[in-house]
């Protein structure tokens, strides 16, 4: 049956892949930033994403704000939460041992997930968008698309453009890049690396909060356990796309989204989670340092 | 300098008498007419101890697996399939352990050259891929229906002693390994892989060995657990089972014999305490039941984070420092 | 030294608490004999919506029975009150086993009721089988629970519809009602088969729905063909790719088998994201308030197979009374009454059935209770039976009447209501195609 797929079906499957890819891009970019600067893998990144989704959810319900604007509130709140997490938890263990850092993020998964469960129960929620009932018709390929899907793509592009400019064109961006290239040299050049840690952690979690909001607008995926798997996948994406590479995270995220939707289409829904790790293991067997290697050990 | 002093601390032969003594005191419990649910709960606790110990051995060699449930599940499924098809009891346990050890070699081969976070991902990924295979290969694994595993022993009390014996066995094996030259090599690799290589230790061999032994034990325990639970499905490969030994061992003390015991005891303590106060909590507000089961993992998570920040080596080394001050 | 004293103190405190926990298990003696019914339900995890409904219904039933004076047990020569013990299986097999072990061995229940997810129940029923505790299963839909070959299931009873019933009702409805409607409206060539697509949860329940559908289509020789078959993982939230593939197959109807949250979101995504405008047929597992809540106006014209209509126009006095009592008893945080669901109705019936059996047995001996459940004969309650009586056949299964409801969105009240459209004996309204319905001919 999959062989008889028509063009519009194919286009649609590609679109689903790209839309999931947008979420992965946002998630992977944040994770990548944190890894680049601090050399820490934050497995709890997905929990910050879901937390961000909840913030937008409650803001859009209680303040009646358009969910796309509540992203800004969410970015602010989760950014601060991220900075606090860095100060209280990660800074204490930074440099002690890699294992401690990984297990710390595991502990944070438990704390955040279950705290969210206790506060808001396991019920799946979805942020209702004001454009819920609007669809756009594309004549050429004969498909209908929900307006929100287009907005989500647009928002992702905007956020990523802003992020790119911040990293490449501003002074603080240069400091971040310097710190991720060589921490001690950056310190010698008068950069406050601890401040960079805080800033990049906050920025990374803020990107995750954006991803969480967009995810919750598209899918009823707002429940405490929903973040664990996307975060792991985001990490496989940055491993594949090159640790520390911004473009790598973007390309990797989109490519991964596509791989996932084609895996569902060709192999079936069971393989959705497995496919990422199968690719990862294959790559790591061939190149133990990741597809693009590490700039610095 | 720092490495050398670290080495010396860790080369202290771990004490095995205390844990074994502690477990020995558990021997007569079923005879005292405790409620059989208490016996059941203790059996689960022994499972936690032995399973975490097998993980801890791997961590002792510097490799933290995030998908240890893969080995648990392979052991369980092997014995389930074997026992169902051939009706030969007991042999499945050994086969399960061996299948799991074989998988351990495979995963170990992939992992020997990897950095910590890659290793974590690959091991985790391995267990997630196994879920997909288990669900798809339904002619073998029963697919999503799972498998009803035949019973080996007639009652919970028997399983209690079986699990206790298995726990003592695992701890003893791990003790022997840690005490031997192999254990020394594990510790040296963990502390500094390059230095270990320089001193002539075959790093790849010892890393693989650690994976194999750890997977063998986990597979054995998983096989027995499958018979004990009488049912197995793909949830055995889940994140819950993968993260359980990490939490227990890290809280108790990574790379120590008594760490998993302390961790498991703490976990059991919290969960039994919550179980006992549950009726009172429900009297205050019946809605609490919807979130009540989240409190235990929440508490464990908070303890885990606190332990890593405040006593990064875990409770057991911290206790030792207090009980045996430096001369 | 001071720190050492602190440490010893801490150890001592922990030891005292540990000893008291042990003592608690050792010394707890039940104060007065009551009838203890253990409810196994999923209060957390993916099945929590259905589990909460079972819990509420069970509490309601027990309160009603106790308010009426309890159950007369001749062995004690007086009426005993009923107490309900609740065990949470967390929608996971291992936790289900622990929950049932606790109910049996620590809470000392006389009878068990509940059991939601099929795979969880297959695991959690084992302690009940091993300890010979009668267990009336009211949630799990796989027939395996009373037909196991590896265990003696003589203490297991299945008081709910099994997968076979869902699929039988749905394929008969498709053939009897949907196909003629499509032909009448010129949407279908009378010569061709009805094109059915299936989207199921990848577990025992979902795959069972597919297998039985195939079997009934073949056995009954119906002009229906399955043109697309897709699966999704338990707990999935994104169904778009599967729905796109289904859309490409141009089906006349989609039969989807998921739990409440999955099924409702799947319909919404199909209509909203994918633009697959067809008839979506859900099974009775989704008969919960959450289903209607998530669907909202997207549920207009959609179909639900059921045997208990909580939103349906009045069709049975017993059901009306039950819904009224339930909504009177249970209100959410905002004070709005909660609407009962299907699994709760099963559980409610089962508790009455158990109490009746205990009264007949005149004792709390588990073997006698089992015998009486096996031989029970009482008037139907909430679930309608084919001969109007509750009784168990040789497989320990019941023989209920399933029907098909069509949902209608009432824009003034912003509520979904449902009408029974099949079978003819219960029909309240004719089945209607959605106005924006699309299939091959559109």
DSSP string, A133-193: T-EEEETTTTEEEEHHHHHHHHHHHHHHHHHHHHHHHSHHHHHHHHHHH-HHHHHHTT--H
Q: What is the spatial distance between Cα C151 and Cα C97, in angstroms, rounded to a whole number?
A: 16
Q: In Å, what is the CA distance from C218 to each residue of B203, B224, C215, C223?
A: 62, 43, 5, 9
Q: What is the spatial distance between Cα A102 and Cα A89, in angstroms, rounded to a whole number?
A: 12
Q: What is the spatial distance between Cα A127 and Cα A133, in angstroms, rounded to a whole number?
A: 14
What pLDDT was estimated at residue A2? 47
Chain A positions touching C300 (Cβ under 8 A) are: none
Task: Tell me which residue in A20, A132, A225 faces C272 most closely, judged by beta carbons.
Answer: A132
What pLDDT was estimated at residue A5? 67
What residue in A sits closest to B130 (Cα-Cα)? A274
Least confident of A28-37, A139-148, B37-46, B291-300: A139-148
The answer to whether residue A294 sits within a structural domain is no
Encoded tokens for B312: 């990064």
Query: Are residues A232 and B124, on separate chains, in Cβ contact within 8 Å?
Result: yes
What pLDDT was estimated at residue B33? 67
- Which of the four pLDDT bands, split at 50, 70 and 90, describes residue B324? low
> Is residue C104 packed enough to be buried (19+ CB in 10 Å), middle (13-18) or exposed (0-12)?
buried
What pLDDT was estimated at residue C19? 78
What residue in C sits closest to A259 (Cα-Cα)? C241
The answer to whether residue A292 sits within a structural domain is no
- Which of the four pLDDT bands, split at 50, 70 and 90, describes residue B98? very high
- Which of the four pLDDT bands, split at 50, 70 and 90, describes residue C341? confident
pLDDT at C321 over 70: yes
Percent of the residues in chain B that have a pLDDT greater than 90, as a whole number? 43
Query: Are residues B35 and C28, on separate chains, in Cβ contact within 8 Å?
Result: yes
C101 at interface of B, judged by CB pairs closer than 8 A: yes
Chain B positions touching A276 (Cβ under 8 A) are: 125
What phi, psi does C63 have (nearest 5°)?
A: -60, -40
Q: What is the spatial distance between Cα C180 and Cα B111, in angstroms, rounded to a whole number?
A: 62
Chain A positions touching B132 (Cβ under 8 A) are: 270-271, 273-274
Query: Are residues C150 and B231, on separate chains, in Cβ contact within 8 Å?
Result: no
Query: Are residues A13 and C244, on separate chains, in Cβ contact within 8 Å?
Result: yes
- Which of the four pLDDT bands, split at 50, 70 and 90, describes residue C27? low
What residue in A sits closest to C260 (Cα-Cα)? A124
Chain B positions touching C106 (Cβ under 8 A) are: 35, 37-38
pLDDT digits (tens, 9 = 90+) for A190-223: 888 889 999 999 999 999 999 999 999 988 889 9
A181 at interface of C, judged by CB pairs closer than 8 A: no
Residues C118-135, mean pLDDT to the nearest whole number: 89
What pLDDT was estimated at residue C300? 92
The answer to whether residue A227 sits within a structural domain is yes
Hey, which chains touch A, using 3+ CB pairs under 8 Å?
B, C
Residues B116-127, mean pLDDT to the nearest whole number: 88
pLDDT at C339 over 70: yes
Hey, which chains touch B, using 3+ CB pairs under 8 Å?
A, C
Least confident of B154-163, B276-285, C361-370: B276-285
Q: In Å, what is the CA distance from C427 to each residue of C284, C292, C312?
A: 17, 21, 11
Percent of the residues in chain B that have a pLDDT greater than 70, as a whole number? 92
pLDDT digits (tens, 9 = 90+) for C91-113: 888 888 889 988 998 888 999 99
The four Cα atoms A194, A197, A200, A205 give a dihedral, to 10 degrees, of: -130
Chain B positions touching C105 (Cβ under 8 A) are: 35-37, 40
Closest Cα of chain B to A65: distance in Å?
A: 29
Residue corresponding to tokens 């989760």 = A78
- Which of the four pLDDT bands, split at 50, 70 and 90, describes residue B325? low
C177-193 exposure pattern, b = at least 16 Cβ within 10 A, e = fewer: bbbeebeeeebbeeeeb
Chain C positions touching B269 (Cβ under 8 A) are: 14, 17-18, 21
Mean pLDDT of chain C: 88
Closest Cα of chain C to B265: distance in Å?
A: 10
Q: What is the spatial distance between Cα C142 and Cα C395, in angstroms, rounded to a whole number?
A: 13
Query: Are residues C265 and A124, on separate chains, in Cβ contact within 8 Å?
Result: yes
The answer to whether residue A124 sits within a structural domain is yes
Chain A positions touching C228 (Cβ under 8 A) are: 1
B244 at interface of A, judged by CB pairs closer than 8 A: no
What is the domain count for chain A? 1
Closest Cα of chain C to B206: distance in Å?
A: 35
What's the count of helices (H) and strands (E) in chain B, helices before strands?
15, 2
What pLDDT was estimated at residue A235? 87
- Which of the four pLDDT bands, split at 50, 70 and 90, describes residue C407? very high
Chain B positions touching C25 (Cβ under 8 A) are: 34-35, 37-38
pLDDT at B7 over 60: no
Q: Which residues of chain A have pLDDT under 70?
A: 1-5, 290-297
The answer to whether residue A291 sits within a structural domain is no
pLDDT digits (tens, 9 = 90+) for B192-213: 888 888 888 899 999 999 999 9
The answer to whether residue A13 sits within a structural domain is yes
| ipTM value greater than 0.90 | no
What pLDDT was estimated at residue C309? 83
- Which of the four pLDDT bands, split at 50, 70 and 90, describes residue B4? very low
Domain residue limits at A155? 2-286
Task: Tell me which residue in B116, B125, B239 faces A280 most closely, judged by beta carbons.
Answer: B125
What pLDDT was estimated at residue B2? 40
The CATH number that applies at residue A60 is: 1.10.3470
């Amino acid at each position: 049956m999959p062989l008889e797929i028509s063009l519009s079906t194919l286009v649609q499957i590609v679109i689903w892949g790209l839309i999931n890819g947008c979420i992965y891009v946002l998630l992977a970019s944040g994770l990548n930033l944190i890894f680049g600067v601090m050399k820490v893998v934050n497995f709890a990144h997905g929990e910050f994403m879901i937390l961000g989704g909840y913030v937008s959810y409650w803001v859009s319900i209680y303040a009646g704000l358009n969910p796309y604007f509540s992203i800004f509130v969410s970015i602010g709140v989760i950014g601060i939460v991220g900075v606090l997490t860095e100060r209280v938890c990660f800074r204490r263990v930074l440099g002690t041992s890699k294992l401690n850092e990984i297990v710390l993020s595991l502990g944070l998964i438990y704390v955040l997930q279950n705290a969210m469960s206790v506060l808001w129960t396991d019920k799946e929620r979805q942020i209702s968008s004001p454009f819920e009932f609007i669809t756009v018709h594309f004549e050429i390929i004969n498909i209908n698309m929900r307006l929100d899907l287009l907005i989500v793509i647009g928002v992702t592009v905007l956020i990523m453009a802003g992020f790119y400019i911040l990293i490449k064109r501003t002074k603080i961006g240069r400091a971040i890049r310097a710190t991720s290239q060589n921490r001690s040299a950056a310190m010698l050049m008068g950069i406050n690396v601890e401040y960079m840690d805080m800033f990049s952690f906050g920025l990374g979690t803020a990107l995750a909060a954006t991803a969480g909001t967009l995810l919750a607008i598209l899918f009823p995926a707002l429940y405490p356990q929903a973040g664990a798997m996307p975060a792991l996948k985001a990490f496989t994406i940055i491993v594949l796309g090159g640790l520390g590479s911004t473009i790598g995270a973007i390309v990797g995220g989109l490519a991964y989204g596509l791989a996932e939707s084609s895996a569902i289409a060709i192999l079936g829904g069971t393989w959705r989670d497995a496919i990422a790790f199968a690719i990862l293991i294959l790559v790591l067997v061939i190149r133990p340092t990741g597809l693009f290697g590490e700039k610095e050990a | 300098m720092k490495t050398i002093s670290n080495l010396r601390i860790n080369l202290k032969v771990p004490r095995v008498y205390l844990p074994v003594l502690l477990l020995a005191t558990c021997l007569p419990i079923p005879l005292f007419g405790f409620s059989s649910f208490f016996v059941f709960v203790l059996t689960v606790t022994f499972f936690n101890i032995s399973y975490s110990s097998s993980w801890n051995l791997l961590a002792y060699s510097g490799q933290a697996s995030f998908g240890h449930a893969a080995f648990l599940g392979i052991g369980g499924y092997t014995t389930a399939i074997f026992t169902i098809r051939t009706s030969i009891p007991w042999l499945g346990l050994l086969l399960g352990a061996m299948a799991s050890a074989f998988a351990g070699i495979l995963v170990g081969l992939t992992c020997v050259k990897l950095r910590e976070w890659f290793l974590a991902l690959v091991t985790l990924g391995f267990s997630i891929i196994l879920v997909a295979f288990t669900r798809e290969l339904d002619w073998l694994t029963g697919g999503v229906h799972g498998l009803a595993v035949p019973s080996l022993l007639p009652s919970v009390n028997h399983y209690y002693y079986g699990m206790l014996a298995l726990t003592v066995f695992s701890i003893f094996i791990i003790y022997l390994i840690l005490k031997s030259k192999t254990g020394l090599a594990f510790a040296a690799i963990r502390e500094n892989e390059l230095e270990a290589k320089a001193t002539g230790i075959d790093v790849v061999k010892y890393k693989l060995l650690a994976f194999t032994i750890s997977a063998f034990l986990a597979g054995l325990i998983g096989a027995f657990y499958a018979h004990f639970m009488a049912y197995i499905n793909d949830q055995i490969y889940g994140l819950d089972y993968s993260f359980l030994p990490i939490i227990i061992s890290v809280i108790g003390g990574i790379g120590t014999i008594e760490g998993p015991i302390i961790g498991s005891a703490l976990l059991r303590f919290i969960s039994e305490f919550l179980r006992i106060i549950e009726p009172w909590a429900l009297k205050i507000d019946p809605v609490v039941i919807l979130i009540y089961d989240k409190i235990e993992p929440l508490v464990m998570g908070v303890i885990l984070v606190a332990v890593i920040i405040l006593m990064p080596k875990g409770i057991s080394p911290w206790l030792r420092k207090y009980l045996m001050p430096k001369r | 030294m001071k720190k050492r004293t602190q440490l010893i103190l801490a150890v001592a405190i922990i030891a005292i608490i540990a000893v008291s926990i042990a003592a608690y298990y050792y010394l707890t003696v039940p104060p007065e004999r009551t009838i203890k019914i253990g409810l196994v339900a999923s209060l957390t995890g993916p099945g929590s919506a259905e589990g909460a409904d079972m819990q509420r219904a069970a509490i309601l039933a027990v309160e009603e029975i106790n308010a009426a004076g309890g159950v007369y047990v001749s062995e004690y020569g007086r009426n005993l009150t009923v107490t309900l013990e609740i065990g949470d299986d967390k929608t996971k097999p291992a936790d289900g086993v622990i929950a049932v072990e606790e109910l049996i061995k620590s809470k000392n229940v006389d009878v068990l009721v509940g059991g939601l997810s099929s795979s969880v129940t297959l695991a959690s029923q084992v302690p009940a089988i091993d300890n010979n505790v009668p267990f009336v299963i009211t949630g799990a839909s796989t027939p395996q629970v009373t037909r196991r070959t590896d265990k003696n299931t003589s203490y297991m009873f299945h008081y709910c519809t099994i997968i076979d019933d869902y699929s039988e009702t749905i394929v008969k409805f498709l053939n009897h009602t949907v196909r003629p409607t499509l032909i009448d409206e010129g949407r279908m060539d009378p010569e061709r088969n009805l094109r059915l697509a299936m989207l199921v949860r990848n577990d025992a329940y979902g795959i069972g729905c597919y297998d039985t559908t195939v079997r009934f289509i073949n056995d009954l020789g119906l002009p229906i063909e399955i043109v697309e078959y897709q699966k999704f993982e338990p707990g999935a939230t994104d169904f778009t790719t599967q729905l796109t593939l289904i859309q490409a197959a141009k089906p006349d109807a989609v039969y989807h088998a998921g739990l409440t949250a999955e099924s409702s979101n799947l319909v919404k995504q199909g209509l909203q994201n994918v633009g697959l405008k067809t008839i979506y047929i859900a099974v009775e597992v989704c008969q919960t308030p959450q289903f209607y809540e998530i669907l909202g106006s997207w549920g207009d014209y959609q179909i639900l197979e059921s045997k208990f209509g909580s939103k349906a126009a009045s069709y049975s006095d017993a059901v009306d009374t039950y819904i009224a009592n339930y909504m009177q008893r249970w209100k959410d945080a905002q004070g709005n009454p909660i609407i009962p669901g299907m699994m709760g109705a099963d559980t409610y019936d089962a508790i009455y059935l158990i109490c009746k059996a205990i009264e007949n047995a005149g004792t709390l001996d588990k073997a006698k209770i089992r015998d009486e459940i096996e031989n029970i004969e009482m008037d139907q309650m909430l679930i309608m039976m084919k001969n109007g009586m509750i009784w168990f056949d040789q497989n320990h299964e019941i023989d209920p009447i399933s029907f098909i409801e069509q949902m209608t969105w009432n824009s003034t009240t912003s509520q979904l209501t449902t009408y029974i459209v099949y079978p003819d004996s219960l029909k309240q309204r004719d089945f209607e195609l959605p106005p924006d319905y699309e299939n091959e001919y559109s």
